[in-house]
């Protein structure tokens, strides 16, 4: 799935929604997002997570679980992604 700015935002919102409740592995995040976005790949999830990690909205623990570590808005996260490109 080629991520457009709109689909990037939708995936990002889904990730924020899910990991605000419980830390998840990238595989679990992919499964969670695939329910709403049928053609999404693990690489798409990694792209979104990379943008979120760059600005500190998401962290990864030593076990490989991603978790929400801030209260950034989706706009802040998206601006961080665009600035990193």
Q: Could you tell me if 83 and 70 are in contact, meaning their C-beta atoms sit under 8 angstroms apart?
A: no
- Each residue of 22-53: pLDDT tens digit? 889 999 999 988 888 888 999 999 999 998 88
Residue 77, pLDDT above cutoff 80: no
| Domains of the chain, each with CATH number or no CATH | 5-84 (1.10.10.10)
In the chain, alpha helices (H): 5-19, 26-36, 42-54, 74-84
Q: Specify the higher pLDDT residue, 1 or 51.
A: 51
Q: What is the pTM of this model?
A: 0.73
Q: Could you tell me if 29 and 15 are in contact, meaning their C-beta atoms sit under 8 angstroms apart?
A: yes
Q: Could you tell me if 26 and 64 are in contact, meaning their C-beta atoms sit under 8 angstroms apart?
A: yes
- Look-up of token digits 């998206």: 78
């Amino acid at each position: 799935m080629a991520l457009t700015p709109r689909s990037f935002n939708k995936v990002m919102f889904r990730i924020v929604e899910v990991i605000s409740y419980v830390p998840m592995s990238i595989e679990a995040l992919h499964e969670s997002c695939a329910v709403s976005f049928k053609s999404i790949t693990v690489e798409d999830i990694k792209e979104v997570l990379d943008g979120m990690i760059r600005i500190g909205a998401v962290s990864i623990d030593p076990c490989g679980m991603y978790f929400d570590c801030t209260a950034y808005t989706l706009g802040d996260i998206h601006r961080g992604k665009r600035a990193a490109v």
